[in-house]
């Protein structure tokens, strides 16, 4: 008889940002893959959290509300994951609404740039395809592929959308320090996302001073060496260890959910830091379910 091993996936996107899965599909996939706990971390929105919580509870999977925010530190882009945030927090929601507005304007600006490059595309076609408040470059890339303008999403990024390519427009970023503060005020913990993708290396000392709580050690773009490096950094600073697949559904080729598994003990440590938020979302989801029945 084997030992029953439990894992978590704490970095997942839904169709509320640039993923393709519904919250319900995430819960179903987790069940199929034997994942015991998950968090959704959409870009600039928490809209998936309540329905994901309900779907997870029905499936017997533990759930933590999350978000992914883009920040900058001295000109360098850093992504942060917030966990256990209050998804009804006024200041957080006001900030997210601004980020979403800027994302929508940015889609128009990138489409304008494409049009100037004689690539016909309409912003409304991108919005229709994205069908969310937090649209981004993957939606434009998908629209270009659907229109037959590019053979693949990679081609769309390489030719037009990557940083420095002709249709690229920078995203609104908050300072790393402000982001950590906002996540804390919203009742959550702040975790540096995929440090293996940071060039140059992330400013760990400064982030520790700013109150960072954790570091994403396990990620689909981290090899074994990077995982070990991140774990050593976590130990040095007394940080939480998190991890997840960063699965975007089918939007980047094969779904990677299940390929990265955070050992459950790290999820337990994370949970111990966010008990209040846990109670809060479970409670609000229950109210929602009662409303739906009534």
The entry of ligand AMP, Zn ion, Fe ion, none that residue 86 binds, CB within 5 to 8 Å by partner kind: none
The tokens describing 41, both together, are 């971390």
Two structure tokens written together for 52:
């994901």
Among 21, 63, 157, 239, indicate the residue that binds ligand AMP (CB under 6 A): 157
Span from 133-141, 180-188, 191-199, 264-272 in contact with ligand AMP (CB under 6 A): 133-141
SS3 290: helix
β-partners of residue 73 are: 76
Binds 62, which of ligand AMP, Zn ion, Fe ion, none (CB < 5 to 8 A, cut-off by type)? none
- Rounded least distance, CB 15 to Fe ion, Å: 12
Q: Distance between CA atoms of 38 and 63, rounded to whole angstroms? A: 5
CA dihedral 71, 76, 80, 86 (to 10 degrees): -20
From the list 239, 163, 233, 247, the residue with the least C-alpha distance to 202 is 233
What are the Cα distances from residue 267, in Å, to 31, 95, 108, 201? 17, 27, 40, 25
**Residue owning tokens 């773009």:** 221
Phi, psi of 290, rounded to the nearest 5 degrees? -65, -45
Among 246, 262, 266, 274, binds Zn ion (CB under 5 A): 246
Q: What are phi and psi of 257, to 5 degrees?
A: -60, 135
Contacting residues for 196 by C-beta, under 8 A, at least 6 apart: 219, 221, 222, 223, 226, 230
Place of tokens 């003990």: 265
CA distance 84 to 101: 24
Residue with smaller CB distance to ligand AMP, 36 or 251: 251
Strands (E), 42-101: 62-73, 76-83
For the bound state, the minimum distance from the C-beta of residue 138 to ligand AMP, rounded and expressed in Å, comes to: 4
**Nearer to ligand AMP (CB atom), residue 18 or residue 213:** 18
- Write out the two tokens for 46: 């928490």
- Number of residues binding to ligand AMP, judged by CB under 6 A: 11
Considering CB distances under 5 to 8 angstroms, the limit depending on partner class, which of Fe ion, ligand AMP, Zn ion, none binds residue 154? Answer: ligand AMP
Residue 252 interaction partner, one of ligand AMP, Zn ion, Fe ion, none, beta carbon < 5-8 Å per kind: ligand AMP
Q: Interaction with ligand AMP in 166-195: which residues (CB under 6 A)? A: 171
Task: Give the x-and-dash track for 73-112 against ligand AMP (CB under 6 A).
Answer: ----------------------------------------
Binding residue for ligand AMP, selected from 11, 15, 89, 137, defined by CB under 6 A: 137
In the complex, the smallest distance separating the C-beta of residue 195 from Fe ion, rounded to whole angstroms, is 11
Please, which of residues 243-282 interact with ligand AMP by CB under 6 A?
A: 252
The closest residue (CB) to ligand AMP is 136
Asked whether position 18 contacts Fe ion by CB under 5 A, the answer is yes
What residue ranges in the chain does DSSP mark as E strands? 7-9, 35-40, 62-73, 76-83, 174-175, 189-192, 214-219, 240-244, 262-263
Minimum gap (Å) between residue 15 Cβ and ligand AMP: 13
Using the contact rule CB under 5 A, the part of the chain among 19-27, 223-231, 246-254, 271-279 near Zn ion is: 246-254
Nearest to 266 by CA among 284, 240, 238: 240
Q: Segment near Zn ion (CB under 5 A), from 86-94, 169-177, 244-252, 274-282?
A: 244-252
Judged by the rule CB under 6 A, the positions of this chain that interact with ligand AMP are 18, 43, 136-138, 141, 153-154, 157, 171, 252
């Amino acid at each position: 008889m084997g030992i029953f091993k439990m894992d978590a996936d704490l970095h997942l996107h839904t169709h509320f940002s640039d993923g393709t899965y519904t919250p319900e599909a995430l819960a179903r996939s987790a069940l199929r893959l034997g994942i015991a706990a998950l968090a959704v971390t959409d870009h600039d929105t928490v809209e998936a959290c309540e329905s994901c919580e309900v779907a997870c509870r029905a499936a017997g999977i533990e759930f933590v509300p999350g978000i992914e925010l883009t920040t900058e530190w001295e000109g360098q882009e850093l992504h942060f994951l917030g966990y256990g945030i209050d998804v009804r927090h006024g200041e957080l929601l006001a900030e997210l609404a601004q980020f979403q507005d800027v994302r929508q304007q940015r889609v128009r600006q990138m489409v304008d740039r494409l049009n100037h490059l004689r690539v016909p595309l309409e912003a409304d076609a991108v919005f229709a395809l994205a069908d969310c408040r937090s649209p981004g470059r993957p939606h434009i890339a998908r629209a270009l592929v659907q229109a037959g303008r590019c053979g693949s999403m990679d081609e769309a990024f390489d030719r037009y959308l990557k940083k420095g390519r002709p249709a690229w427009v920078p995203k609104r970023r908050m300072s790393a320090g402000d982001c950590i503060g906002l996540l804390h005020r919203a009742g959550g913990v702040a975790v540096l996302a995929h440090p293996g993708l940071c060039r140059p290396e992330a400013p760990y000392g400064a982030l520790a001073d700013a109150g960072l709580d954790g570091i994403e050690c396990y990620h689909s773009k981290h090899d074994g060496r990077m995982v070990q490096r991140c774990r050593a950094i976590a130990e040095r600073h007394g940080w939480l260890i998190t991890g997840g697949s960063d699965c975007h559904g089918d939007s980047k080729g094969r779904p990677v959910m299940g390929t990265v598994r955070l050992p459950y003990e790290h999820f337990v440590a994370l949970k111990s830091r966010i008990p209040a938020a846990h109670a809060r979302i479970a409670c609000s989801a229950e109210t929602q379910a009662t409303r739906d029945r009534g």
